[in-house]
Structure 1
Amino acid sequence: MSARRTLVVTNDFPPRQGGIQTFVAALLARRPPGSLVVLASRSPGWEAHDAALPYEVVRHPTGMLLPTPGVARAAAALARRHGCHTAFFGAAAPLGLLAPALREAGVRHLVGATHGHETGWVALPGARQVVRRIAGGLDVLTYISDYTRSRLEPALGGRVRLAQLSPGVDVDRFTPAADGTAVRRRHGLGEGPVVVCVSRLVARKGQDVLVAAWPAVLARHPGARLLLVGGGPDEARLRRVVAGRGLAGSVVLTGPVAPAHLPEHYATGDVFAMPCRTRRGGLDVEGLGMVYLEAAACGLPVVGGTSGGAPEAVRDGETGTVVREPRSPEAVAAAVTALLDDPARARAMGAAGRAWVEQRWSWTTIAATFAGLLEPARH
């Protein structure tokens, strides 16, 4: 038997892309390599990806891990082989249902992560029962923001200890030193002020309100440009709206951008804006809003919305502005133009945001929290 390790069971793991995948991989990258063994599903390119990792990854022969008897046996076998006393579920639902099998295999301390979408699950009776069952099998369930905790805690009824584990920011990649010159040149942004939004193009994120607000911004700052970075289901509609309103000369949609190139896109901006709003009766909601923190790490003041945990990623009046009416183009335009009108104040907010991210949201801080959650002796 090899040295004792933490067993990580997750569907959300590179090379599959996404926010949760990035979160889980970043957590594991900051653990001692010999302390981990991972059970994951397969995605294209997994062989080359895993060969470069400093810890063992076992890929179950499926594109999606589910809490089936076969997966339970595979997870239990890994736990026994490596003498794992601790296990971590990269997303607690639904794989946390494997907890009883892992306890039978000798695992003593089980931690499961939530990422925000679970707040919608607990609003639905059937899904709420599943989440309660999962929570009851774990020792710790993590949440990403005070907002998500406020939604989860009443539904779980004290079945598990809750602890905050938010995503972190790579402050060495997202930095004021990032250079946006090439992106500015590529998209013809000129030398005027740029308002940038980095996010999937979906209604909740508020790019449509930014576009509606843009004529009012242009009235005060005719040389300004709006850069919408990302792809998504709203892209075609937004392009039609931009063209229909005669804004094609000042609003640019980049389409999808690889994660490695995001810092240089943030760096084009003088202001970051994403006026997110809650939709579908609270089922479509922002769990935290990491883009605000990435933008702040790049030294940008931010304009945010009120959806879910988003206000927790902006120190209103210090690192940016939370727009209380994110559906209002007039309110969004006022927040953006206030920052463009006062570049010194905007720079000061950007500097405050950078300092806050370094202190509170860097991966160094988050990794220390994760290490504590994996150590049962501390609880």
Structure 2
Amino acid sequence: MLPTRDVARRAARLVEPGTTVVFGAAAPLGLVSPALRAAGAERVIMLTHGHEASWARLPIARDLLRRIGEHADIVTYLGAYTRARLRTQIPGAKLVRLAPGVDTGLFRPGAGGAQVRANLGLTGRPVVVCVSRLVPRKGQDMLIKAWPHVLARVPDAALLLVGGGPARKSLDRAAAVHRDSVVITGAVPWSALPAHYDAGDVFAMPCRTRLAGIDVEGLGIVYLEASATGLPVVAGSSGGAPDAVRHGETGLVVDGTEPHAIATALLTLLQDPATARTMGERGRAWIEREWTWNQVAARFATLLLDRRSGVS
């Protein structure tokens, strides 16, 4: 839905005096907020999801983002990285953290990984799993480049890439030489994702920033889902990805452009199962403590009910 005049008129007809309006995505639809203010909206809350951080870097887009922020009472952010980006165009007093949550009942240890391993012929092997859309930013290509270094030390290891996307053909070509140790499933149903996480011993998505900072990771909900599943995480250092990992505690953050650094992190966890298990347990505890949907809902309710402007 785009911020056209027709959309603004139709939305304004829904507004009653004193209404609180919530934009599920601040950009670009937040540009219609002046029309909703004129129709009687008392408060405007705008949620951001990561792409707005890229807008803050672009000459025209950042002006639009500034205009969006001018007409908001509260603009949410995912973590430290996105807050820093948004803060360049939106007053800090309006910024409030509200990140996604994780269903810890679905994403949990023992969610069906043994059956996935059996179906894919991976039973008994150390498995590094990546669950993500197959696009260059997510770093599956760098996992494959790092894989020979891993196999040199852990020859029975397997790399499980779960997801679909435009990079599938190039990843198939790159993985052909490792056909006995790299499995690419393609897209799987959402309901099957917890079991595919649970099929791994280590989760890895070494994301990297591309296109002069425009193509950047906003947070990385997959890291949180992996932690909820009890896996240690290897994350790339792109954008807000480090906000979803406690380096040295729930996982390791690496330079996603360096295959050797990626391989070193993977080997650290694959060759020390006790440390990997401890990181996974700490990750699960962290998610239960700070990232459940009940906690997210409570924070959101506070934003809806608090009549004051946001505070960072």
Question: TM-score higher than 0.5 here?
Answer: yes
In the TM superposition, what is the alpha-carbon distance from 1:238 to its structure 2 partner? 0.7
> Normalized against structure 1, the TM-score is what?
0.79
In the alignment, which of 236, 245, 254 is matched to residue 314 of structure 1?
245
Matched residues in 2 for 1:378 and 1:170: separation? 30
Matched residues in 2 for 1:225 and 1:275: separation? 17
In the alignment, which of 296, 307, 327 is matched to residue 257 of structure 2?
327
Cα RMSD of the aligned pairs, angstroms, is 1.4
2:14 equivalent in structure 1: 78
Aligned sequence identity (%) = 57
Matched residues in 1 for 2:135 and 2:234: separation? 17
1:1-45 superposed Cα distances (whole Å, 9 cap, x missing partner): xxxxxxxxxxxxxxxxxxxxxxxxxxxxxxxxxxxxxxxxxxxxx
In the alignment, which of 278, 289, 300 is matched to residue 209 of structure 2?
278
Matched residues in 1 for 2:93 and 2:19: separation? 18
Instruction: Please say if residues 56 and 88 of structure 2, whose CA atoms lie closer than 8 Å, have aligned partners that are also in contact.
Output: no
In the TM superposition, what is the alpha-carbon distance from 1:159 to its structure 2 partner? 8.2
- Assess, with a 3 A threshold, how the Cα gap between structure 1 residues 134 and 159 changes in structure 2: closer, same or farther: farther
SS at match of 2:106: coil
Confirm whether residue 344 of structure 1 aligns to residue 274 of structure 2. yes
Confirm whether residue 207 of structure 1 aligns to residue 140 of structure 2. yes
Q: How many residues align?
A: 309
In the TM superposition, what is the alpha-carbon distance from 1:181 to its structure 2 partner? 2.1
Amino acid at match of 2:148: P
Matched residues in 2 for 1:217 and 1:72: separation? 55
Deviates more, 1:268-277 or 1:180-189: 180-189
Matched residues in 2 for 1:275 and 1:95: separation? 32
Matched residues in 1 for 2:209 and 2:201: separation? 26
Of the two structures, which has the highest relative contact order with CA contacts closer than 8 Å and spacing of 6 or more?
2
1:102-134 superposed Cα distances (whole Å, 9 cap, x missing partner): 222221010011111112212111111111111
Instruction: Please say if residues 125 and 157 of structure 2, whose CA atoms lie closer than 8 Å, have aligned partners that are also in contact.
Output: yes
Aligned 1:9-48 pairs, distance under 5 A: none
Matched residues in 2 for 1:124 and 1:160: separation? 23
In the TM superposition, what is the alpha-carbon distance from 1:97 to its structure 2 partner? 1.6
In the alignment, which of 71, 85, 88 is matched to residue 154 of structure 1?
88
Matched residues in 2 for 1:304 and 1:101: separation? 42
Aligned 1:217-366 pairs, distance under 5 A: 217-243=150-176, 246-323=177-254, 325-366=255-296
Matched residues in 1 for 2:256 and 2:25: separation? 30
Instruction: Please say if residues 206 and 234 of structure 2, whose CA atoms lie closer than 8 Å, have aligned partners that are also in contact.
Output: yes
1:191 equivalent in structure 2: 124
Matched residues in 1 for 2:6 and 2:306: separation? 28
Amino acid at match of 2:287: V
- Assess, with a 3 A threshold, how the Cα gap between structure 1 residues 84 and 259 changes in structure 2: closer, same or farther: farther
> Gapped runs of 5+ residues in structure 1?
1-64
> Gapped runs of 5+ residues in structure 2?
none
Matched residues in 2 for 1:121 and 1:93: separation? 9
Amino acid at match of 1:301: P
Structure 1 residue runs of 4 or more that deviate by more than 3 Å after TM superposition: none
Matched residues in 1 for 2:175 and 2:92: separation? 49
Instruction: Please say if residues 120 and 282 of structure 1, whose CA atoms lie closer than 8 Å, have aligned partners that are also in contact.
Output: yes
Amino acid at match of 1:232: G
Amino acid at match of 1:288: L
